[in-house]
Structure 1
Amino acid sequence: MTDPIRILLVDDHPVVRAGLSGLLSSQTDFVVLGEASNGQEALAFLQQHPADVVLMDLRMPQMDGVSATRQIRAHFPGVRVLVLTTYDSDSDIVRAVEAGATGYLLKDVPREELFRAVRLCAQGEAVLSPPVAARLLGRMRGPGEVSLSVRELEVLSLVAKGLSNKEIARKLKISEATVKTHLLHTFGKLGVDDRTAAVTAALERGILRLEG
């Protein structure tokens, strides 16, 4: 039996935290370690209690979600940050992803999608909800100068849809090692270091287009 995913909830609204806590606690593979009302409290909590995933709101007093995400990724690199917010502006999304967020969801996300996103983020998989991907797509500045191979595009498009390396390998009938190789080549071409940044860069440059 695998260990449960340890979650920290960060939101300045107590009612939202209580609702999320009840929702996530319904899953046997989740454990809600605690709650914080701003980024400073989140950092202090993580110093005492190791978490796997931080569910992060963006706009909070004292320290906002973007600043907190940047600090968490710097000081607790093993902790994944999943942004869960009502804000879907271009600048909010890009700032959060650039700060190191592994995923970005809106608060009207269906519960099953939220559960799936938490599980994927715990594995280090990128998660962008369709409305967020669409916002990034709207930031396209024209055709991208970077040229990805057909297979690299296939792999990256499946990453954008939230599939894990194992799922991508199964779908494309290739080995998981080959998937990783394609991703490393893609990272190099796009000048990024991780899956979420690769999807963001490809969408912004018009290299990748998501259906739906």
Structure 2
Amino acid sequence: MRLLLADDQTLVRQGLLRLLSLAPDVEVVAEAADGEEALTLARRLRPDLLLLDVRMPQLDGLGVLRTLRAEGDETPVVLLSTFSDENAALSGLRLGAHSYLLKDVHFDDLLHTLQAALNGEPQVYTSVPRHLASEVNDSKLWDLTAREHEILRLMAGGYSNKQIALVVDLQEGTVKNHVSSILLKLGVHDRTRAVLKALEMGLL
């Protein structure tokens, strides 16, 4: 994947750049230190994916996303933030970003999320309260991926995240992200309600 990386913190940006260079399927085609630069590079280079810091000078990550969408650019966007900001996460969700992740995310989970965004899989938001997410009227949020259906069935069987990770051969953190995505899409607060809701919807 051809990726554009934008973060105003030099050490963070360079650290991510080094890590991403180790991933065989990722090519960082450009890096930006602020939102205006990110927007200019995105328009010129047309990357496959944008990894944007939420808080940047000149133009923040949400501003970049909002401008691109207004221009009809549907390039997948993953937002990164140092802080868990419910309002920013919900704004990103409404603007169509694929994910809102904190910068302490495990690198394997970040790579998984980037690939999921590139593949057009539904959104992953671990920082949006379920009651707020349910206010977003987007039918795509109700569509579970094949992997999420599999994990949902295991949840219904009483499996823990650790047990699910062993069964489906994923990192436990990745399973946690999938579970969070399932709860978000079903508009519920916990695993038990997710299973009950899935039964009501005929998903199980």
TM-score (norm. length: structure 2): 0.67
Deviation at 1:171, TM superposition (A): 7.0
Specify whether residues 37 and 81 from structure 1 end up closer, same or farther in structure 2 by C-alpha distance, changes over 3 A only.
Answer: same
- How far residue 71 of structure 1 moved from its aligned partner, in angstroms, is 1.2
Other-structure match for 1:177 = none
Judge conservation of contact 2:89–2:125 (CA < 8 Å) in 1. Answer: no
Picking from 147, 171, 185, the partner of 1:167 is 147
Equivalence for 1:53: 49
Query: Partners of 1:23 and 1:51 in 2: how far apart?
Result: 19
1:208 aligns with 2:204: no
Identical residues among aligned pairs (%) = 30
Q: Which amino acid aligns with 1:39?
A: G
Once the two structures are TM-superposed, the CA of residue 207 in structure 1 deviates from its matched residue by 3.3
Number of positions where the alignment pairs a residue of Structure 1 with one of Structure 2: 163
The structure 1 residue matched to 2:110, chosen from 108, 114, 119, is 114
Please state whether the residue corresponding to 2:80 is helix, strand or coil. Answer: strand
Shift of 1:137: 2.4
- Amino acid of the structure 1 residue aligned with 2:19: L
Q: CA deviation at 1:172?
A: 8.5
1:171 & 1:109 partners in 2: Cα distance?
Answer: 21
CA distance in 1: counterparts of 2:46 and 2:184, whole angstroms: 33
Task: Report the CA distance shift for 1:40/1:140 in structure 2 as closer, same or farther (over 3 A).
Answer: closer
1:125 aligns with 121
Using the TM superposition, give the Cα deviation of residue 68 of structure 1 relative to its aligned residue in structure 2, in angstroms. 0.7
CA contact (8 A) 2:131 2:188 kept: no
Residue of structure 1 aligned with 2:18, choices 17, 22, 30: 22
Q: Read off the aligned partner of 1:24 and give its amino acid letter.
A: L
Distance (whole Å) between structure 2 residues aligned to residue 19 and residue 46 of structure 1: 21
Aligned equivalents of 1:172, 1:93: Cα separation in 2: 24
Tell me the residue number matched to 1:40: 36
Contact 1:106 1:129 in 2 (8 A): no
Letter in 2 for 1:9: L
Deviations 1:133-183, CA, capped at 9 Å, x for gaps:
xx4226489xx9x9x9xxx99x64xx4xxxxx453577799xxxxxxxxxx
